[in-house]
Amino acid sequence: MNKCRCLITDDHPIVRRGVRELLEEEQLCSEISEVRTGEEALEAVRRQPWDLMILDIALPDKHGLEVLKETKLLQPSLPVLMLSLYPEKEFAMRAIKAGASGYLTKQSAPSELLAAVLRVLQGGRYITAALAEQMASVIETGVDGSLHARLSDRELQVLRLLGQGKSVSVIAEELRLSVKTISTYRARILEKLSCESTGELIRYAIEARLID
């Protein structure tokens, strides 16, 4: 068994168990720990070094991209493999830019997850064919096709929360920011997405599959 310390961060117990069993079955990791929130993950990263983190995008307390960025500040060389329900076209490019070593959807076959883990443990990056095509298109044209690609990570996070039907004040409390700051983000999002109301933003978020 490889001497690999792996941290699985996902709020779904079934997902954590499935990933753990897969890694144990293939004897890829000697130590596996599970956490369900972004704060728990960051606390674990502060506490000890890890050889691999498998990280979900949608966590109950923090956005996975935010956790990824903070993790890379704490342990810059730690390989982080993103495992998400969201299609690659929505978050994969952002994740790679933020320092992720790979991005897989939860619909991926177990064999693909194993291949990704092996690849990143060897110091490489795991890029699927779909993501490679997207990256090539961005390089060729200089733009990402989706309107929300224009949003910053924080704006995208606010859009997702608005899409869930949450009010500005609730979002402000959740993100520990002022109502004024969230209102400013909302105004920027409206402008960038050419929308005129929160209702239109909710419809956009649903159609773009940006919410659970």
Is 0.85 topped by the overall pTM? no
Buried/exposed 84-123: b ≥16 CB within 10 Å, e otherwise: bebebbbbbbbbbebbbbbbbbeeeeeeebeebbebbbee
Q: Where in the chain is the domain with CATH 3.40.50.2300?
A: 5-140
- CA dist 77 to 11, 33, 104, Å? 24, 19, 20
The answer as to CATH 3.40.50.2300 being correct for domain 5-140 is: yes
Q: What pLDDT score was predicted for residue 142?
A: 55
Strand partners, 135: none
Q: What pLDDT score was predicted for residue 208?
A: 79
**10-residue mean pLDDT series, the chain (212 residues):** 86 93 90 95 96 92 90 96 81 87 89 92 86 69 66 87 92 90 93 89 84 69
Q: What pLDDT score was predicted for residue 140?
A: 63
CATH fold, domain 147-207, is: Arc Repressor Mutant, subunit A (1.10.10)
Backbone angles phi and psi of 90, in degrees to 5: -85, -40
Q: What pLDDT score was predicted for residue 62?
A: 85
Q: What pLDDT score was predicted for residue 97?
A: 86
Q: Where in the chain is the domain with CATH 1.10.10.10?
A: 147-207
Nearest to 81 by CA among 124, 39, 144, 134: 124
